[in-house]
Amino acid sequence: MDLTVRPIEESEFDTFHAKMARGFGGDPDPKDDPSFFREIIEFDRTVAAFDGDEMVGTGGAFSFDLTVPGGVLAMAGTTIISVQPTHRRRGVLRAMMKAHLEEVRRRGEPLAGLWASESSIYGRFGYGQATDLHQVKLDAGTIEFSGDAPAGAVRLVEPDEARASMKTVYERIRPTRPGMLSRSEAWWTGRMMYDPEHRRRGRYAKRFAVYTGPAGVEGYAVYRQKDKWDDFPEGEIRVSELMAATPDAHEALWRYLTRIDLFPRVEYWNLPVDDELPWRVVEARRVRRQVWDALWIRLVDIPRALQGRSYRAEGRLVLGVRDPFMPDNDGRYLLEAGPGGVTCARTSDDADLELDVSALGALYLGGRSISTLARAGWVRGDAVTLATAGALFAWDPQPWCPEIF
C-alpha cells in the first residue's frame, strides 16, 4: 500500500464528502445540499488518506473554544473520521490520527475532543471519556411536577426569531458548564437551524419554544413531533436541545413539553447527568434514564491544559503521565494550585500519581471520581494522594456537551 496523508483541496470536496458517507456505511443523500457542510468544514484542517490516487480515509477538525472548569481553552474537534472497508486494519486510521494530532500541536491547541462512533477505538490514541449523557424517555401522562408553575410564559416562535433568542441564552449558559462549545454563525446556520424535510425521519419540522421570564428570554427548547394513532393518540416529541438559564425556565419548558395534547411520548437524547428534572417531579422513577458516553478529551499540551483550568482545592501534585501515541508527552508534571493561581511544568521529582494520558483526559473536565478510576486500575497512587487529586480535579456542575460534532 502506497499511503499518503494530507489535507484535501477544495476541488476534492465532493469525493471527500462521498467517501466519508460511505465510510459510515451510507451514501450522500441526493436530496441534500452539501453547501451547509462546506460552510462549516475547515479545508486546511481536513485529513485524507490516499492509497496511490484513491482516497481511502477521511478526517478533520473543527476549531472550537471549549468551556473547562473555571475558563475557556481552544480545542480541536476531531471529526468525520472514517476508513473505507477495503482498507481496515492496515494502519490508515493510525496515520490519520498521527497527522491530525501533530496539526493540533502545531496550531498551539492544548486539547482535542471527539464523540466516539465506537467507544473501543480512541483510548489508544490518548482520548479519555470525559463526559456522559442521559438519554431520557417520559410517559407524559405519568409526569406530575411537585412545585408551582413558574410565572413566565412559553411561546412558539418562528426560526428567525428563535435564532436570536437561542444565541443569547446559549452564550449566557456556555461559560458556566464545562464541556460546552463555541458556535460560529456558520454553525448556527448549518447545524442548529438547518432543517430540510428529508432529514426529519418522518417527523415534522423543528419547533422552537422560548420561555420569557422577568428578565426576558431565559430558555428555549427545540423539538420535532411525530404522529402515531392506534386506539388512542401516542404521538412522539423528540427534543433535540433544551437550554435553561434559570430554574424557572427549566421547569416551564419541561411542563410545556409534557403537556402537549396527543403527544404523550417525550424523549431527549442528551440530558446532563446532573440535571434537576428527576428532582422536579413527584416520582423520579418516571424519568427513565440511560447513560451513554459523550465527549472524549485528549490532552495535547499537558502543562497548558492543566494550567488553563481552575481547581476547587489547594494542593501540590506530581503526575507521572504515560503517552504511548505522543511519547514526547511522557514524563512527570508538577501541578500546584492555590489562591495565587495555577502552575504546571515538567519536573524531575518522583511521581505522586501515575496514569495514562487517556485517564488524565477522563479526569480533566471534573466529571470523574478519581477513586473509581484508581479501583479500576487507571490511576495509581496512595490513599492520601488520591484524596488530594480527587479534591483538586472535582468540579460542579458536571461537564456536559450539548451536541455531537
Are 245 and 167 within one domain? yes
Compute the average pLDDT of residues 97-124: 97
pLDDT band for position 34 (50/70/90)? low
pLDDT band for position 199 (50/70/90)? confident
Instruction: Check if the beta carbon of residue 377 is closer than 8 Å to that of residue 367.
Output: no
Structural domain total, the chain:
3
Compute the average pLDDT of residues 41-48: 96
- Does the residue 125 lie in any domain? no
3-state secondary structure 312-340: CCCEEEEEEEECCCCHHHCEEEEEEEECC
Phi, psi of 7 (to 5 degrees): -70, 155
- Does the residue 379 lie in any domain? yes
Active site residues: 122, 405
- Does the residue 124 lie in any domain? no
Are 283 and 359 within one domain? no
Are 278 and 176 within one domain? yes
Q: How many CB atoms lie within 10 A of CB 350?
A: 8
- Does the residue 127 lie in any domain? no
- What pLDDT does residue 52 have? 96
Q: Using a pLDDT cut of 70, give the percent of the chain over it.
A: 99
Are 274 and 344 within one domain? no
In the beta sheet, which residues pair with residue 47? 59
d(CA 37, CA 48): 16
Q: What is the CATH number of the domain that holds 22?
A: 3.40.630.30
Tell whether the model's pLDDT for residue 388 goes beyond 80. Answer: yes
- Does the residue 264 lie in any domain? yes
Are 48 and 13 within one domain? yes
Are 328 and 240 within one domain? no
- What pLDDT does residue 1 have? 83
Tell whether the model's pLDDT for residue 30 goes beyond 90. Answer: no
- Does the residue 28 lie in any domain? yes
Are 103 and 139 within one domain? no
Q: What is the CATH number of the domain that holds 307?
A: 3.30.1050.10
- Does the residue 121 lie in any domain? no
Are 313 and 267 within one domain? no
Are 284 and 385 within one domain? no
Whose cell is 413527584? That residue is: 282
Tell whether the model's pLDDT for residue 231 goes beyond 70. Answer: yes
Are 289 and 147 within one domain? yes
Question: Where in the sequence is the domain holding 349, given as residue range(s)?
Answer: 302-393
Tell whether the model's pLDDT for residue 29 goes beyond 90. Answer: no
**pLDDT tens digits for range 159-184:** 999 999 999 999 999 999 999 999 99
What are the helix (H) ranges across 108-211? 159-173, 185-187
Instruction: Check if the beta carbon of residue 298 is closer than 8 Å to that of residue 127.
Output: yes
Strands (E), 227-356: 236-244, 265-271, 288-293, 295-299, 315-322, 331-338, 341-346, 353-356
Are 13 and 48 within one domain? yes
Q: Using a pLDDT cut of 90, give the percent of the chain over it.
A: 91
Compute the average pLDDT of residues 268-292: 98
Are 234 and 162 within one domain? yes
Provide the mean pLDDT of the chain. Answer: 96
